Each structure stands twice: as structure tokens, then as C-alpha cells.
Homo-oligomer: A and B are copies of this chain.
Amino acid sequence: MPKRSLRPTMRDVARLAGVSPMTVSRVQAGSALVAPETRDRINAAIAALGYVEDKVAASLSSRRTGFIATIVPTLTNSTFADTAHGLTEALRRSGYQLLIGYTRYRMSDEESLIRTMLERRPEAIVLAGMSHTEAAGTMLRGAGIPVVEIWDCGEADPIGYAVGFSNIESGRAAARHLIALGHRRIGAIGPTIGDDAHDFRGEARLTGFTEVLREAGLSTDRIVQRGDVPLSFAGGAAAMAHLLDTAGPLDAVFAISDLAAFGALMECQRRGIAVPGSLSVLGFGDFEIGDQCVPALSTIGIDAEDIGRRVGELLLRLLPGDAGDHGPTPTAVTDVGFKIVERGSTAPRPVST
């Protein structure tokens, strides 16, 4: 029997207002079935005591925590932060609370995070990617709540729902675009494939890219995978340096992330290599930096915030809400697509050369 709480409880409020706890509970829940005077008296008591509802107890009793578990690879990358932002905004007025965790791109972290989050009894779980450990898959399937996999779709069946795009297809599109510009000696930059740490989506993009190069009869020798997951500025610059030092003449380079592409761009700048004059650089993700740098970065555009927003709308329809009718049953897969954003870092291959 723990020592009595320092904070006022609903009982304290009820006592002060001269009603039963149940009536206070009704006021908290915004029920209209309370007499206006009673409500005022209760609100006065709440203010007087500085009462703050205990949602832990409320959650246990009502069996609704209002938590949405969200698991992403990293927070440090604006992409997933944007998605979390979109999700938060979509959920803003609904009273749901995001429970955010990140995996550092490690499957083992993801697995333990899923368990930890499930212990908090979220009403839904949102996580990046379609690849999980076996134990993770079992937990997700047995969780009894909506599961939404994001940032990828099209290749495999989702556990529950999926909101994303085809990473493989986006990689293929990148390759086709560079080929269409007349480039032939094409390179690509991706991260090292680790044991536990994986950027599955970046790898899928590289896979699609490689496929198209091969189909076009072009060499895939200029595809480098080096640097820690996730590849950032410095990793992109280092990979570019490696390409430049060892791969011979080069027409164009695709990086699996704008961060790496920007690093590559800066490496070119440092070496006095004209972009796009003598080398085209194509990024991925449409990060804000690509729009601002000089030259502006051509990229494959993904609307990260929109992914979050759509997940929020999906959840609002899936979860029992006070809004009543939630429309038709949602489809399992939402493909938000991608688009090629042509800016200043890509150009047709010069006629001479």
C-alpha cells in the first residue's frame, strides 16, 4: 500500500464539489449529461486544487490508452521527423499521443522496442519498413491492434496496412532518368550492408537502380556501398571521393539519399568538378537542403510529411473515435508514389566527349 499521493485525486475534487467521483469523471470526459451548475462547481474545484487527471488510471479502467506507438530508424534524419510531424498534426485534435522510438536502423533494437511499446498498450503501432525479425512479426501479428508499415510498399504483403511507395521502383526510375539523359558511365552511392544495421529501403533503391543498369547493358561496377548506415553528408562525400579516385571517367551518380548526394556534390566542388557540367548528381528524398544548395539538387521526391498525414487519417478511421462514422473500410496499401524533381545538378550528357 504505497503512501498516499501528493497530488489531488478525483475523489478530492468530488469531495470539494460535493458530488461523487463519477460525476467528476463525466465532466472530465466532456459528457453533456451533467447539469451546468454541477459542472461549474466541479470545474471550480478542479481549478482550486490544481487537479490533473491521471490517465494511467483512466487508461487501465477504460482500456484505452490513447497511445500510438511509432517506430522509426532515426530521429536525426529530417525525413522521419517530417513523417512524425505529419502524423502528429493529423492526430492533433483527436487526443492521441505519439509514443516515439527509434531503432538506429537495427533490427534487434526494433524488436525490443516493439516489445517495450506493446507493454504500454498502444492502440495502434506504426513502423518503418516491411522487414522485421521473426519475433517482431509474431508480436505485431498478435498485438490485436492496427499495424501500419510505412515508407515502403508494393513488394510484400503488409502485416496490417502499408503507407509508402515502392523503393525498388524509385531506384529503377532514377536509373532510367539518368540513362535518358544520355549518361552511360553511371555510378551509385549507398551505405555498407551491415549485419544487424540495415537500411532496407535504401538497399532496395540501389537494387532497382542496379537492375535497370544491367538491363540496359551498362556496367554496374561504379556502384559503391561504403560508409555507416545511415549514409549522411560525410559518408556521401567519402563515397564520391572513392568513386572519383578509382572508377575512372564518370557521367552521372545517384545517391540513395539527398544527404549523401549533397556530400557528393560538395566533394565535387572541392575538386573543381563541374556539376552538372561534367558530372550529373541525382539524390533521393527531396530534403530541404537540396532545394537550397548551389547547384540545386535533382532528386526523387517523396512527401515524407504526407506519409505521416495519411497514416494519421487511416488511424482515425480505424480507431474507435467520437466522430462516429469513419467512412468506408480503408484499403490495405496506400501508395503515395514518388516523382522526379529536376533541378540544377543533372543535365544531358554533353554531345562532345
Contact = CB atoms under 8 A, between A and B. Distances in A.
A60 B56 contact: yes
B54 A57 contact: no
A59 interface: yes
Nearest to A263: B292
Given A56-B56, A65-B56, A139-B52, A289 B289 contact: yes
Interface stretch (A116-124, A158-166, A193-201, A327-335): A116-124
A62 interface: yes
A92 B274 CA distance: 45
Contact of A120 (B76, B97, B266, B289): B97
Interface stretch (A80-88, A278-286, A314-322): A80-88
A5 interface: yes
A102 B97 CA distance: 12
B294 A63 contact: no
Given A60-B57, A75-B75, A292-B262, A119 B81 contact: no
A294 B59 CA distance: 53
Interface of A: 2, 5-7, 50, 52-57, 59-60, 62-63, 65, 75-76, 78, 81-82, 84-85, 88, 97-100, 102, 115-116, 118-121, 138-139, 142, 144, 232-234, 237, 262-263, 266, 269-270, 288-289, 291-294
Given A56-B65, A120-B56, A144-B7, A234 B266 contact: no
A125 B220 CA distance: 52
Given A52-B119, A288-B232, A76 B76 contact: no
Q: Which 5 A-B pairs have the closest CB atoms?
A: A233-B292, A55-B119, A75-B81, A269-B294, A76-B81
Given A75-B75, A100-B98, A53 B292 contact: no
Contact of A63 (B2, B78, B85, B120): B2
